[in-house]
């Protein structure tokens, strides 16, 4: 039933399998798609764009150090750097045929190629490495693909976005598709895009992942939040990336 609904909503996407690049339709028209930074004050945008004033660069710098560390360092294999990589994630890991995000890819490199353990989600080290890699795609447009292998993950993400939840019984779409630009508890609701993350949030007084932001939106409607780094949030992250296609990556972003 849910799949049918998604198929109906994303006309021609789930329902036809003729081409490998599938193009869903979203409620917000392409020409109206705007980054969350549109709703920030000019001062905050200026701070975000200034590498010295943007606190997120502390994590980028820490990530750069970690990238060079150890006998088999990340840098020893990735000599050409990471430009454009973050713009293509989440993506399929061909070996396991699983959709993974950037954090997941970093941890796979640790376990597969460095003989190290995976870093805990939201740990300072994982955030720093993610920030360091994401920063190398700053200004590049989000460019993820839906393929027959990733279609079901996309549909699960879409389903999460469209489903009412929590004591307030609200779906993501009701705020971020239907009511963006309106005020809510002293904040302007944006279109709920992922392109600023990982980001520094004033409310956190800290740097955090997209999943931490999703966790906050879930608890905001008093729903049981999902574990950070879980496949449910990775699928949702994928849906958000497709939905934000073409928007420029801003990480390390600054948000309220």
Catalytic positions, please? 217
CA distances for 212 relative to 219, 235, 243, angstroms: 11, 15, 19
**For 34, what's the count of Cα atoms within 13 Å in the CB-facing half-sphere?**
10
Q: How many CB atoms lie within 10 A of CB 247?
A: 20
Provide, rounded to whole angstroms, the least separation between the CB of residue 141 and ligand HEC. Answer: 16
DSSP label of 88: G
Residue 121 phi, psi (nearest 5): -60, 140
Q: In DSSP terms, which residues pair with 165 in a beta bridge?
A: 170
Query: 64 to 83, contacts with ligand HEC by CB under 6 A?
Result: 72, 74, 76-78, 82
Nearer to ligand HEC, 106 or 142 (CB): 106
Provide, rounded to whole angstroms, the least separation between the CB of residue 18 and ligand HEC. Answer: 27
Residues in the chain: 256
Scanning 11-19, 47-55, 111-119, 139-147 for contacts with ligand HEC by CB under 6 A, the matching segment is 111-119
Nearer to ligand HEC, 17 or 112 (CB): 112
Hey, is 220 helix, strand or coil? helix
For position 222 contacting ligand HEC by CB under 6 A, the verdict is no
Cβ-proximal residue to ligand HEC, closest one = 36
Nearest to 214, CA basis, from 151, 149, 165, 144: 165
Query: 154 to 173, contacts with ligand HEC by CB under 6 A?
Result: 161, 170, 172
Contact footprint for ligand HEC (CB under 6 A): 36, 72, 74, 76-78, 82, 85, 105-106, 108-110, 112-114, 129, 133, 161, 170, 172, 174-176, 184, 187, 189-190, 192-194, 196, 213-214, 217-218, 220-221, 236, 255
């Amino acid at each position: 039933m849910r799949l049918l609904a998604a198929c109906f909503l994303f006309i021609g996407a789930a329902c036809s399998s003729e081409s490998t690049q599938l193009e869903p339709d979203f409620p917000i028209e392409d020409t109206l798609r705007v980054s969350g930074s549109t709703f920030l004050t000019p001062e905050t945008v200026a701070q975000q764009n200034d590498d010295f004033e943007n606190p997120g660069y502390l994590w980028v710098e820490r990530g750069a150090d970690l990238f060079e560390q150890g006998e088999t360092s990340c840098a020893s294999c990735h000599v050409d750097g990471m430009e454009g990589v973050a713009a293509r994630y989440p993506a399929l890991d061909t070996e396991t045929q699983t959709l993974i995000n950037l954090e997941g890819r970093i941890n796979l490199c640790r376990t597969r190629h460095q003989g190290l353990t995976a870093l805990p989600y939201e740990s300072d080290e994982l955030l720093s490495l993610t920030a360091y890699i994401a920063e190398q795609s700053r200004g590049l447009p989000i460019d993820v693909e839906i393929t027959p292998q990733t279609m079901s993950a996309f549909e699960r993400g879409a389903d999460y976005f469209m489903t009412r939840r929590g004591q307030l019984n609200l779906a993501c779409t009701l705020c971020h598709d239907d009511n963006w630009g309106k005020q809510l508890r002293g904040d302007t609701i944006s279109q709920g895009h992922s392109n600023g993350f990982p980001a520094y949030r004033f409310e956190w007084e800290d740097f955090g992942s997209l999943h931490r932001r999703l966790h906050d939106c879930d608890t905001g409607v008093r729903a049981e939040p999902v574990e950070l780094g879980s496949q449910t949030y990775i699928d949702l992250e994928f849906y958000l990336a497709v939905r934000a296609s073409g928007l420029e990556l801003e990480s390390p972003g600054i948000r309220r």
